[in-house]
């Protein structure tokens, strides 16, 4: 191995001499404490290294030792339910070693070497297998059966396979006869984080990733295998949105990357998820979740790593044929980490000091999302959906990270401080946001819920659009000056905004709304509008309509439990009929 020595230390970046023979992105050990670093620039003898731990106390002359390998993660049973730091060290284990505060230099394996997993083979001696083929299964948690796969680049004939039983991840379970001889396979694999895991083919997303959040599912849907960005100023609701997605999205596996954000937000997930039930499986949410935490005060270089660590773990479960969703909160902190490191390298700064490669790094990251046919002869499909929070300085979306992200992602959920200020949550601006998956997911809605879904949604959007135009007039002349039909548009739009779009993440029932309920709620609102509009055209005053008691009932629908709302809607429709009929009786001569 290459052995060099430190010549310069500037924050998280050190320079070492005598490093000839090293490779770009090779992992090195730095100094007496053998801190973990990664080579990010190489020139002759000299390597520039970003160090994933605090560099205080490092001295010129300290030893730098190459490892020969690129920064990699460990893949195998035991990932789920874990909380890792940015370079995949289990935080629970770190705590056992250094106590309540994280000290540096801790060396712990990512996956337990002693824990035994119950392995059941699905291949037998003589079978021909290729990369990605499933060799056996392990019930990793109550909800996820871990597929032990032939590693990428390996294929051959099964010479021997372990019997069903309990094994550690390092024990060999299958021996293959390959072209070059024999290959032994255990349940533990390693994969370099900066390289996307291979698949056979990318497919277009067609199925929505449902989250039970009305504004997402109905108005700006995300598809399984798709990408979304949530930019917004501080306190607008990025983290709450990401947590809601992590809780309620109908994915099989969730990878949540807390990148440069608050410690308490990770603690919150750790406290909450084991006690929350997945609506799909009825099992605790933690059973399908992996957490990566590089909080804002942890070493900045590891922030960069945390994003890649998360993506690689997510791809691994995608390869097993699962629908995986990855949340990254916040990608801006990752971009800032790139900027800080780039600044220390004295690279030529691009816009606002970010390195020129910011755009390509973001694109490469989101490109790892997708619905794919995985490696393996069974043609199984898996998907990786990515949702990135963006934290633009001053809430100004024209800055480089937001702009470069929007160029890649297909869904834009635009958070808006003025909505948050008035506690309109989720404070997503319905006029600015968009989804490019509308057409892709329409068949699903049409088949599973109703063929009217698209029409309903578009009609609602049109009302909201009309409202914003009318509001400009109201600003000049007051609402009283509007004709009755337009006042009804305001009422209907207000209903959609307050009673449909607003959704309280902390309300026991409102926190999750099934697609069926979403559709029925909106359907009722539009029906209300149509009936009301019809009544007004028959000279019934808008004032009488906006005073109808059913409006209050519609507003409370969101708090009606899933198993009661259908009956409730029937009831409301009946009441609405009666109320309108009595207005007709009052005003319209027969």
Partner 1 sequence: MALQLKEYTSVTEVAGPLMIVEGVEGAGYGELVDIRLSSDEKRRGQVLEIDGPRAVIQVFEGTKGIDTARTRVRFTGDPIKLPVAREMLGRIFDGTGQPIDKRPEILPDAFRDIHGAPMNPTAREFPREFIQTGISTIDGMNTLVRGQKLPIFSGSGLTHNELAAQIARQAKVLGEGEEFSVVFAAMGITFEEASFFMKDFERTGALEKVTAFLNLANDPAIERIITPRLALTTAEYFAFELGMHVLVILTDMTNYCEALREIAAARSEVPGRRGYPGYMYTDLSTLYERAGRMKDKPGTITQMPILSMPDDDITHPIPDLTGYITEGQFVLSRDLHRRGIYPPVDVLPSLSRLMKGGIGGERTRDDHANVSDQLYSAYAEGRDLRNLVAIVGEEALTDRDKRFLEFSDRFEKEFVTQDRDEDRSIERTLEIGWRLLSILPERDLKRIGADYIKKYHPAYKEGAKEASDKE
Ligand X SMILES: Nc1ncnc2c1ncn2[C@@H]1O[C@H](COP(=O)(O)OP(=O)(O)OP(=O)(O)O)[C@@H](O)[C@H]1O
Q: Which is nearer to partner 1, 84 or 366 (CB)?
A: 84
Q: Which is nearer to ligand X, 240 or 509 (CB)?
A: 240
349 binds partner 1 (CB under 8 A): yes
* Minimal distance, residue 383 CB to partner 1, in Å: 29
Closest CA to 291 of 259, 262, 252: 259
The residue within the footprint of partner 1, chosen from 481, 567, 570, 588 (CB under 8 A), is 481
The dihedrals phi and psi of 490, each to the nearest 5 degrees, come to -60, -45
478 binds partner 1 (CB under 8 A): yes
Report the 10 Å Cβ neighbour count for 201. Answer: 11
Residue 216: both structure tokens together: 């997402």
Q: What burial letters (b/e) apply to 223-258, b meaning 16+ CB within 10 Å? A: bbbbbbbbbbbeebbbbbbbbbbbbbbbbbbbbbbb
Rounded to whole angstroms, how far apart are CA atoms 208 and 436? 12
Report the 10 Å Cβ neighbour count for 328. Answer: 27
Q: Which is nearer to ligand X, 409 or 503 (CB)?
A: 503
* Minimal distance, residue 579 CB to ligand X, in Å: 31
Choose the stretch contacting partner 1; rule: CB under 8 A; options: 138-146, 204-212, 312-320, 332-340: 332-340
* Minimal distance, residue 230 CB to ligand X, in Å: 8
Choose the stretch contacting ligand X; rule: CB under 6 A; options: 96-104, 180-188, 403-411, 501-509: 501-509
Running DSSP on this structure, what letter comes out for residue 225?
T
Choose the stretch contacting ligand X; rule: CB under 6 A; options: 33-41, 86-94, 219-227, 236-244: 236-244
The residue within the footprint of ligand X, chosen from 132, 212, 232, 382 (CB under 6 A), is 232
- Partner in contact with 426, chosen from partner 1, ligand X, Mg ion, none, beta carbon below 5 to 8 Å by kind: ligand X
Rounded to whole angstroms, how far apart are CA atoms 444 and 441? 5
Q: Which is nearer to partner 1, 73 or 389 (CB)?
A: 389
Chain positions 43 to 102 lying near partner 1, rule: CB under 8 A, are 54-61, 83, 91-92, 94-95, 98-102
296 binds partner 1 (CB under 8 A): yes
Q: Which residue has the tokens 């067609």?
A: 206
* Count of residues touching partner 1 (by CB under 8 A): 76
Per-residue contact string for residues 8-27; x = within reach of partner 1 by CB under 8 A: xxxx---x------------
Rounded to whole angstroms, how far apart are CA atoms 72 and 75? 9
Closest CA to 358 of 344, 341, 340, 338: 338
Chain positions 381 to 420 lying near ligand X, rule: CB under 6 A, are 391
160 binds ligand X (CB under 6 A): no
588 binds partner 1 (CB under 8 A): no
357 binds partner 1 (CB under 8 A): no
Closest CA to 313 of 57, 539, 76, 533: 76
Chain positions 260 to 279 lying near ligand X, rule: CB under 6 A, are 261
Rounded to whole angstroms, how far apart are CA atoms 105 and 461? 55
Residue 130: both structure tokens together: 């290729």
Q: Which is nearer to ligand X, 232 or 321 (CB)?
A: 232
502 binds Mg ion (CB under 5 A): no
188: left (phi over 0), alpha (psi -120 to 50) or beta: beta
Per-residue contact string for residues 190-229; x = within reach of ligand X by CB under 6 A: ----------------------------------------
Beta sheet of 134-139, edge-to-edge order: 145-149, 134-139, 117-121, 165-167
Chain positions 71 to 100 lying near ligand X, rule: CB under 6 A, are none
Cis preceding-peptide flag for 500 (omega within 30 of 0):
no
The dihedrals phi and psi of 402, each to the nearest 5 degrees, come to -65, -50
Chain positions 230 to 249 lying near Mg ion, rule: CB under 5 A, are 238-239
Residues of this chain that bind Mg ion (CB under 5 A)? 238-239
Residues of this chain that bind ligand X (CB under 6 A)? 232, 234-240, 261, 391, 425-426, 503-506
């Amino acid at each position: 191995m290459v052995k060099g020595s430190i010549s310069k230390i500037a924050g998280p970046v050190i320079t070492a001499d005598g490093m000839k023979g090293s490779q770009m992105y090779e992992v090195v050990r730095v100094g007496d404490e053998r801190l973990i670093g990664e080579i990010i620039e190489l020139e002759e003898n000299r390597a520039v290294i970003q160090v994933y731990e605090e560099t205080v106390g490092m001295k010129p002359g300290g030893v730098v030792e190459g490892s020969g390998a690129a920064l990699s993660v460990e893949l195998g049973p035991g990932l789920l339910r874990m909380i890792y730091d940015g370079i995949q060290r289990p935080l629970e284990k770190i705590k056992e070693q250094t106590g309540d505060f994280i000290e540096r230099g801790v060396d712990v394996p990512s996956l337990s070497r002693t824990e035994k997993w119950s392995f059941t083979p699905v291949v037998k001696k003589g079978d021909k297998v290729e990369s990605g083929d499933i060799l056996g299964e392990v019930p990793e948690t109550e909800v996820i059966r871990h597929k032990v796969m032939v590693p990428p680049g390996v294929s051959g004939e099964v010479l021997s396979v372990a019997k069903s039983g309990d094994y550690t991840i390092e024990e060999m379970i299958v021996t293959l006869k390959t072209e070059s001889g024999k290959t032994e396979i255990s349940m533990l694999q390693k994969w370099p984080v900066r390289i996307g895991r291979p698949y056979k083919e990318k497919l277009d997303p067609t199925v929505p990733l449902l989250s039970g959040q009305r504004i997402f599912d109905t108005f700006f849907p995300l598809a399984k295998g798709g990408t979304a960005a949530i930019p917004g100023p501080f306190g607008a609701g990025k983290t709450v949105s990401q947590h809601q997605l992590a809780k309620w999205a109908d994915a099989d596996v969730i990878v949540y990357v807390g990148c440069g954000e608050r410690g308490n937000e990770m603690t919150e997930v750790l406290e909450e998820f084991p006690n929350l039930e997945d609506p799909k499986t009825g099992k605790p949410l933690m059973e399908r979740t992996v957490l990566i935490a590089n909080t804002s005060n942890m070493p900045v270089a590891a922030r960069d790593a945390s994003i890649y660590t998360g993506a690689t773990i997510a791809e691994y479960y995608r390869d097993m044929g699962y629908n995986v969703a990855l949340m990254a909160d916040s990608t801006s902190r990752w971009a800032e980490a790139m900027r800080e490191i780039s600044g220390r390298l004295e690279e030529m700064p691009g816009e606002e000091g970010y390195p020129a490669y910011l755009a390509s790094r973001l694109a490469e990251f989101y490109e790892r999302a997708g619905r794919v046919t995985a490696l393996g002869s069974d043609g199984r499909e898996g998907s990786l959906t990515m949702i990135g929070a963006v934290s633009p300085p001053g809430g100004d979306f024209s800055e480089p990270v937001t702009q470069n992200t929007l160029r890649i992602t297909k869904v834009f959920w635009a958070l808006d401080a003025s909505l948050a200020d008035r506690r309109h949550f989720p404070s997503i601006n319905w006029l600015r946001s968009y989804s490019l998956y509308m057409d892709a997911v329409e068949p699903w809605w049409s088949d599973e819920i109703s063929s009217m879904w698209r029409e309903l949604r578009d009609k609602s959007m049109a009302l909201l659009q009309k409202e914003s135009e009318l509001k400009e007039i109201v600003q000049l002349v007051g609402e009283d000056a509007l004709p009755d039909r337009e006042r009804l548009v305001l009422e209907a739009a207000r209903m959609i905004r307050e009673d449909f779009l607003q959704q309280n993440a902390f309300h026991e029932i409102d926190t999750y709304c099934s697609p069926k309920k979403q559709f029925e709620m909106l359907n009722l609102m539009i029906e209300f509008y149509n009936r009301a509009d019809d009544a007004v055209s028959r000279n019934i005053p808008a004032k009488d309509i906006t005073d109808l008691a059913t409006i209050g009932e519609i507003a409370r629908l969101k708090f009606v439990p899933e198993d009661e709302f259908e009956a409730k809607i029937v009831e409301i429709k009946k009441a609405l009929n009666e109320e309108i009929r009595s207005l007709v009786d009052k005003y319209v001569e027969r």
